[in-house]
Structure 1
Amino acid sequence: MPINVSIVIYKHTVAEIQPLVDVLREADCVSEIFLIDNSPFRQDQFVDLGVTYIFNNQNIGYGAAHNIAIRRTLEQNIPYHLVLNPDIIFQSEILAKIDAFMNNNSNIGLLMPKVYYPNGEIQYLCKLLPTPFDLIFRRFLPKAWTKKRADVFELRASGYNRIMDVPYLSGCFMFLKTESVREVGLFDERFFMYPEDIDLTRRMHQKYRTVFYPQVSVVHQHAQGSYVVGRLLFIHMKNMIKYFNKWGWFFDAERRIINNETLKQLK
């Protein structure tokens, strides 16, 4: 079935984006590629890539920018929408495999493949719903003190080698069923950056399956910018506070229930 794809860019060059666009254009199932530009300057040369180029003239945030394209997909009634980071590398044939799997499992609203670093190490992006400790406090503690809890939070005991229902999937590659988005809503635009994927996965998980699908994989050149850039750390903290203000800090009964159910499937 047809798939629309959205990629949000910020001060990227054509040379950086073209390889990903070329891969997407190789896939027969891809209908339209949206390039949403949050840069402070317009770059008309992106139009030559054969994409739908949308210039926002300001950085409106990750989720808000993707929402522009997702709304178009909803209007067009395209069955699936892929939210994609610009630093993702993969082979075009995986999209057909994901498409087929989603077609055979109509109760899945969101899917994420296995994700690797460029050096071949797994990125542990399947996670439980976070507590304030998981997203805020542990950032300021030695890793040795938090490793055991982090291993549980990132579901490492699963081995990342089986299909799993996961309540928090990464926003770097979100394969969405359009009708599920129509029901649960778009990215929450209160979050400028970072927790928008937690929030959307959680809302999706309430009504649909949100699945880790390790039968296909991608490479993510993930830099963890908020760990090294002070301004990004501030943005991260600010938006995490917004997330917990929305869902609850220490008293979140739904979080406890969902996390317990997630851990049970691993036994």
Structure 2
Amino acid sequence: MNLSACIVTYNDQTEALKAAASVLAHTRRHPLALYLVDNASPDGTGRALEQAVASGALRPGPEQSVQVICRRRNGGFGAGHNTVLDSLASDYHFILNPDILLTADTLSDLAEWMEARPQVVMARPSLCFPDGRPQVLPLRRCSLRAMVYRQLGFLTFLKKYNDAYVMAGEDLTRPRQIEFCTGSFAAVRTADFVAAGGFDEKYFMYVEDADLTQKMLRRGQVWLAPQFTAVHVWHRAAHRSLGPMFWQARSLCRYFAKWGFRL
């Protein structure tokens, strides 16, 4: 099998280099094309990534390649990932955040797991913080009350809706079908990802991964495969400042208009 992976960066060269190095170091069982797409970072992240590849500081192994693509403008998360859409020649493609770190050959593991299950078009592993704590991430379709609680946690009467959103209390130690595959780490069948048109670029930030999941669900099944793991630093910017909170709210409105409102 041929694998490909894309990391989209914006002002995070140190973190992106660590992520890329971990992907190259641990992905060994199958050929890999790694794309590093810089979204017009003003701090020189794109140039730093190019220099790391040119100098050998970021060195691909046998049957691996690294390509740095510097965009002229920041079109957002989805647009960044779609930059490589026409170049993909892989069987399985991986959408990765720059704050992902691999500790095992998780890309090969997921690709082989999906290969044995032709009905699966999208999947993700379990994710944990650097200290090993498991991350609680959405697994069901977006709903308004759950999203409000995630921004305003003091509204405790809404907690039950967030519990449903993350499937709290259910057995998540075994593989199971899900309705939301987080864009921080997602594996897709490349042919289906391309046929679906990749990400909807009208989302600048946030909820574009929920939108992509709905598109992929029209083509097959989406699964959580918790037997495979990766580290996700998870900065949660939308929970810390007003700008990202506004982008998230705007994206959520677009999502509901497109896929139907869920209270």
Instruction: Give the shorter-chain TM-score range.
Output: 0.7 to 0.9
| Structure 1 segments unaligned to the other structure (5+ residues) | 252-267
Q: Would the alpha carbon gap of residues 113 and 164 (structure 1) be closer, same or farther in structure 2, given more than 3 Å must change?
A: same
Distance 2:84 2:18 in 1: 20
| Corresponding position of 1:218 | 230
Distance 1:168 1:80 in 2: 19
Q: State the Cα deviation string for residues 212-233 of structure 1 (Å, max 9, x = none).
A: 0011111111121111111111
Distance 1:101 1:18 in 2: 27
Q: CA deviation at 1:185?
A: 2.5
Q: Would the alpha carbon gap of residues 30 and 144 (structure 1) be closer, same or farther in structure 2, given more than 3 Å must change?
A: farther
Q: Which moved more, 1:118-127 or 1:190-199?
A: 118-127
Distance 1:140 1:25 in 2: 39
Distance 1:20 1:138 in 2: 27
* Aligned counterpart for 1:40 among listed residues 30, 39, 42: 42
Which residues of 2 match residues 169-180 of structure 1 at below 5 A? 169-180=181-192
| Corresponding position of 1:257 | none
| Corresponding position of 2:9 | 9
Distance 1:243 1:206 in 2: 16
Q: CA deviation at 1:250?
A: 4.8
Distance 2:69 2:215 in 1: 27
Q: State the Cα deviation string for residues 26-52 of structure 1 (Å, max 9, x = none).
A: 323242111110113553231223521
| Corresponding position of 2:75 | 60
Distance 2:260 2:106 in 1: 37
Is the partner of 1:156 in helix, strand or coil? coil
Is the partner of 1:8 in helix, strand or coil? strand
Distance 1:175 1:226 in 2: 24
What's the % identity of the aligned pairs? 26
Distance 1:147 1:181 in 2: 34
The alignment covers a number of residue pairs equal to 247
**Higher percent of residues as helix:** 1
Q: State the Cα deviation string for residues 147-184 of structure 1 (Å, max 9, x = none).
A: 22211111122232010100111100011101211332
Distance 2:207 2:138 in 1: 14
Distance 2:97 2:142 in 1: 22
Distance 2:48 2:195 in 1: 36
Q: Which moved more, 1:83-92 or 1:122-131?
A: 122-131
Is the partner of 1:202 in helix, strand or coil? helix
| Corresponding position of 1:86 | 98
Is the partner of 1:219 in helix, strand or coil? strand
Which residues of 2 match residues 119-158 of structure 1 at below 5 A? 119-136=131-148, 139-140=151-152, 142-158=154-170
Which residues of 2 match residues 234-253 of structure 1 at below 5 A? 234-250=246-262
Q: TM-score, normalised by structure 1?
A: 0.86
Question: RMSD of the alignment, in Å?
Answer: 1.9
Distance 1:92 1:207 in 2: 29
Q: CA deviation at 1:126?
A: 4.1
Is the partner of 1:180 in helix, strand or coil? helix
Alpha carbons 2:149, 2:155 under 8 Å: kept: no
Distance 1:141 1:22 in 2: 36
Q: TM-score, normalised by structure 2?
A: 0.87
Alpha carbons 1:40, 1:59 under 8 Å: kept: no
Is the partner of 2:11 in helix, strand or coil? coil
Alpha carbons 1:81, 1:177 under 8 Å: kept: yes
Is the partner of 1:142 in helix, strand or coil? coil
Q: Would the alpha carbon gap of residues 12 and 129 (structure 1) be closer, same or farther in structure 2, given more than 3 Å must change?
A: same
* Aligned counterpart for 1:208 among listed residues 220, 231, 240: 220
Match of 1:145, as an amino acid? F
Alpha carbons 1:82, 1:175 under 8 Å: kept: yes
Alpha carbons 2:35, 2:84 under 8 Å: kept: yes
Which residues of 2 match residues 93-132 of structure 1 at below 5 A? 93-132=105-144
Alpha carbons 1:112, 1:213 under 8 Å: kept: yes
